[in-house]
Structure 1
Amino acid sequence: MGEVAETNFRSEIALLQYTDARHKDPLSPMVIHIPVSTCPGEGQPHTRIAITPSPASFIDSQIREQQQNQNPNDAWLPITESRNGNAFYATFHILNSNIGFQALLLPVAFSTLGWVWGSICLSMAFVWKLYTIFLLVALHESVPGIRFSRYLFLAMAAFGKRLGKVAAIFPVMYLSGGTCVMLIITGGGTMQLLYKTICQPEACDAHSLTGVEWFLVFTCIAILIAQLPNLNSIAGVSLIGAVTVVTYCTLLWVLSLKKGRPTPLTYTPSHQGHSTMAKTSDILNAIGIIVLSFRGHNVLLEIQGTLPSNHKHTSHEPMRKAVIISYLLIAMCLFPLGIAGFWAYGNKVASTGGLLYAFSEFHRHQVTKFSMVVIYLLIIVHCLTAFQIYAMPVFDNLELRYISIKKQRCPRWIRTCFRLFFGGLTFFISVAFPFLPTLAALLGGFTLVPLTYAYPCFMWIAIKKPPRTGFVWFFNVVLGSLGMVLSALLVAAALRTLVDKGLNANFFNP
């Protein structure tokens, strides 16, 4: 359950005030503080209720009764403010957050690995990620009375307060804020491409905005949409994002097949003839592209936190349905992108920087301006909608700090100020470091790989405590260890590539 705390133990937020987040057996003695008032901070007294060991049935009934009595602080925060979601809303959120622009790089990975190994690596990464997703879904309500609606709090519960923070806080915050920066760079750059596609060359040269100004336009629109109050309220936004991302992924590989292949074309792995060290680095970088094409673990528990739950109908079942539906659609996008994209462009795709650029370069005389405008618009809309999901954990964290100090709900104007501050900060970073996408492999190896492929396995062991001699314990230890080794290898390969090719550090010059 949890150690004795000075706050209501029923909320995961109480983990912030635990000396440690380890859990005792549910039948051990406990002391629970139950607030008489639903609004802490009004000077109302608190009732102290001592529960001593009693029959399991009685304690189980108490646990079930308490499980959904949400701490008032939960109802004040953007992630858990509304728990009226359903499996469809969760599907929209997962689709919108788990597919991204980086999936268009999959043909580049195939150009290094080839048909067979490219398909094998993509399939293994897909199954591995799906397995760890189901682990997180099960861990969301793994401790009676607590819903872990934030990845960081689950890590603290599994590893302890100090180790959990050290292991998870930077990856979680980077994958939220850093992804928003990437979306500004991608969305703002695509806006510029859209403008140049629509207007005449003379007008473009005379009246085009600068790269900084396009970033600012994108950020202003994103922060305007971000005024929606909580994660559940952006379900419609996520529906639009899900439709747009599935559409532009499908359009790109279908049109690439339809327009035919450029000649001459070769499918020989691009690392042929390289030295052993260079070949190893190229292969690891290709695996990194595949691994990093799957994202969204850092917002999965938050999405599940929007679903209702009680002792009869927990959030597990609708979330599993949402994961299954969304990942069937994700598979229908990613596998054709990699396989069909490599078939259409072969090794030529590596020199262009991805499927979108290969399509626009090799078929610019065959594709109508309208088709390119539609594709660019879909990418921009998806970047704007994905920004909302990835920004929500940061908004939640800022407001959590406020209510922890003030002991009251965050006023609307303060919430608006927090979101404007975050928008300004991400805009500044995107302008100061417009080369950040070239560091995606390095930073992703540090953050996304452990968070996605390793930590869920170790958290399952720490919380569920399967027998050490059993298959489940051994399998998760091996899988989690492989995830950490993979993270180290990808970081090493990314560092070697940066040293070998250099970095165009165009500070403040997007």
Structure 2
Amino acid sequence: MEEVAEEAQYFRSEIALLNFSDATFKPPLSPLLIHIDPLLPNGHTCSASESDPSPTSQHQQEQHHPKDAWLPITESRNGNAYYAAFHILNSNIGFQALMLPVAFATLGWAWGTVCLSLAFVWQLYAIFLLVQLHEYVPGIRHSRYLFLAMAAFGKKLGKVGALFPVMYLSGGTCVMLIITGGGTMKQLFKTLCENDNGKTCNAHALSGAEWFLVFTCVAILIAQLPNLNSMAMVSLVGAVTSITYCTLFWVLSVKKGKPNNVSYSSSLSQEHTPVAKISDVLNAIGIIVLAFRGHNVLLEIQGTLPSNLEQTSKIPMRRGVSMSYVLISMCVFPLAIAGFWAYGNQINDGGLLYSFPEFHKRQITKFSMGAIYVLVIIHCLTSFQIYAMPVFDNLEIRYTSIKNQRCSPLVRTCIRLFFGGLTFFISVTFPFLPRLSTLLGSMTLVPITYAYPCFMWLSLKKPRPRGIICCFNVALGSVGMLLSALLVAAAIRTLALNGLDANFFRP
């Protein structure tokens, strides 16, 4: 009896879901169930194959064990290649790409273009590795990055290596979006309220924390959509707005002409010590490397696509990736090249988002500038949904593991309100978090994007030892980890020299 009780406790725990992160495939149109031997009410066990023909036994499974069908990432698998492209575009293109001309100001035309091209190809290769690993074993799907890491590296090592980076890149990105979106709302109000003579109107302006609260409330209101697949149209809006404002920034920067005394020489001074030059170069490379993101939600996006034994989700996902990255390349490369051409080494450290209004304030109407700010705000709101979804999913895994039942609409709403309140509190407490983005991104985004996919491929696919593919992935993953360490060291040195204005609770 004790053994039966222990076995039942095991099945009710989260471990069952972690070990089998997605369900084994059943015949088409049948529900996807976790690949474990479920404990029936009479104390006996039955295999999945025995339970397939019986709707009653399937219902018993759903009543007694957490299922992917309960969770927001995999609740709906009716997506397609276009939906995947919408999600990828919405999560990959963002305000971080507006920083690329800053990197070119340090690296120059040639090395800037080379580094940007290499980073683009490298992270795209890592994406296709992840797409393949999503269903590396027929019948098993890994719809969460953390679970794939645990399958590749082992439960303990996978959690140690991937838990913090994945959770930071989800929750931390949401905090960054609140700070950026709320700050842009404040800038929008200031722009529209400012008179032609430069004086601000008498309208009451909200404080920084109040703008953060407005942004968070709107973001959590949108987040009430039940699952990731239901947010496809939200991601479409985010993709359109992000492509639009990225295009407007570089087109208008070129059209309005260059400021006076623009120079394209490297910002590296001859008076700098070799260590200082290396640090500046690494910081510039860090800007380029961190401009590409979204790998931590890629498997989750692929988890919304249908799959069965006859046709996997790899084909539509590859189509979605291909479509989205054609558009991403059409945004990223012009932003970097045209932005650097327009401003040279006079580019503001905040990138095009601050340089454009600084140099062309008198050449563009406030309503046009306001429209660009609105596009940035809308994209921040929609991108928030993609990065918050893994956190919602993780919290619901905890709930379903404890309660052994699906989250009710009320519980789901409370979970999302809790997350919204937590991210709002962190954004108000640490409004200087963007100044730590290079340091934190080097610790989290670089391994997740550039190194882990290569090592996971080696662990799970087990290519021929000392073969070309094996050596290539070992080298690429090792360089990725080395790059992460170097970028962390350069970011720490920069913070030590420049200091950190830690304006706690004063956004």
Q: TM-score, normalised by structure 1?
A: 0.89
Q: TM-score, normalised by structure 2?
A: 0.89
Can you list the C-alpha shifts for 1:419-453, whole angstroms capped at 9, x where unaligned? 00000000000000000000000000100000000
The separation in 2 between residues aligned to 1:412 and 1:44, in whole angstroms, is 31
> Which residue identity lines up with residue 16 of structure 1 in the other structure?
L
The separation in 2 between residues aligned to 1:15 and 1:469, in whole angstroms, is 35
The separation in 2 between residues aligned to 1:204 and 1:184, in whole angstroms, is 26
SS across alignment from 1:48 = coil
| CA RMSD, 1 decimal | 2.4
Structure 2 unaligned residues grouped into runs of 5+ = 1-6, 23-34, 50-57
2:108 matches 1:141:
no
> Which residue identity lines up with residue 315 of structure 2 in the other structure?
E
Can you list the C-alpha shifts for 1:24-82, whole angstroms capped at 9, x where unaligned? xxxxxxxx744488xxxxx475533499xxxxxxxxxxxxxx9xx99861000000000
Partner of 1:89: 83
Q: State the identity as a percent.
A: 71
Q: Is the 8 A contact 1:12 1:148 kept in 2?
A: no
2:265 matches 1:263:
no
Q: Structure 1 residue 6: deviation in Å? A: 7.5
Q: Is the 8 A contact 2:16 2:36 kept in 1?
A: no
SS across alignment from 1:123 = helix
Partner of 1:16: 18
Can you list the C-alpha shifts for 1:204-241, whole angstroms capped at 9, x where unaligned? 46500000000000000000000000000000000000
From 400, 423, 427, the counterpart of 2:397: 400
> Which residue identity lines up with residue 289 of structure 1 in the other structure?
I
From 471, 475, 480, the counterpart of 1:483: 480
The separation in 2 between residues aligned to 1:90 and 1:8, in whole angstroms, is 35
SS across alignment from 2:487 = helix
Number of aligned residue pairs: give it: 473
Q: Is the 8 A contact 2:8 2:39 kept in 1?
A: no
> Which residue identity lines up with residue 335 of structure 2 in the other structure?
L
SS across alignment from 2:46 = strand
Partner of 2:280: 282
Can you list the C-alpha shifts for 1:86-118, whole angstroms capped at 9, x where unaligned? 000000000000111110000000000000000
Alignment of 1:192-271 (within 5 A): 192-200=186-194, 204=201, 206-271=203-268
SS across alignment from 2:310 = coil
Partner of 1:62: none
Q: Structure 1 residue 7: deviation in Å? A: 9.6
Alignment of 1:117-156 (within 5 A): 117-156=111-150
Runs of 4+ in 1 over 6 A off after TM superposition: 5-9
The separation in 2 between residues aligned to 1:491 and 1:107, in whole angstroms, is 21
Change (3 A) 1:217 1:44: farther
Partner of 2:419: 422
Q: Structure 1 residue 200: deviation in Å? A: 3.6
Partner of 2:3: none
From 419, 438, 444, the counterpart of 1:441: 438
The separation in 2 between residues aligned to 1:7 and 1:240, in whole angstroms, is 44
Partner of 1:332: 330
> Which residue identity lines up with residue 109 of structure 1 in the other structure?
A
The separation in 2 between residues aligned to 1:165 and 1:97, in whole angstroms, is 24
Change (3 A) 1:302 1:13: farther
Partner of 2:27: none
Partner of 1:102: 96
Can you list the C-alpha shifts for 1:451-492, whole angstroms capped at 9, x where unaligned? 000000000000001111211111000000000000000000
The separation in 2 between residues aligned to 1:429 and 1:359, in whole angstroms, is 29
Q: Is the 8 A contact 2:431 2:506 kept in 1?
A: yes
Q: Is the 8 A contact 1:15 1:161 kept in 2?
A: no
Can you list the C-alpha shifts for 1:370-393, whole angstroms capped at 9, x where unaligned? 210110000000000000000000
Change (3 A) 1:409 1:352: same
SS across alignment from 2:76 = coil
> Which residue identity lines up with residue 332 of structure 2 in the other structure?
L
From 379, 391, 400, the counterpart of 1:382: 379
> Which residue identity lines up with residue 230 of structure 1 in the other structure?
N
Q: Is the 8 A contact 2:139 2:309 kept in 1?
A: no
The separation in 2 between residues aligned to 1:171 and 1:252, in whole angstroms, is 31
Partner of 1:160: 154
SS across alignment from 2:191 = helix
From 446, 453, 458, the counterpart of 1:456: 453
Q: Is the 8 A contact 1:281 1:493 kept in 2?
A: yes
From 166, 180, 198, the counterpart of 1:186: 180
Q: Structure 1 residue 199: deviation in Å? A: 1.5
The separation in 1 between residues aligned to 2:91 and 2:454, in whole angstroms, is 22
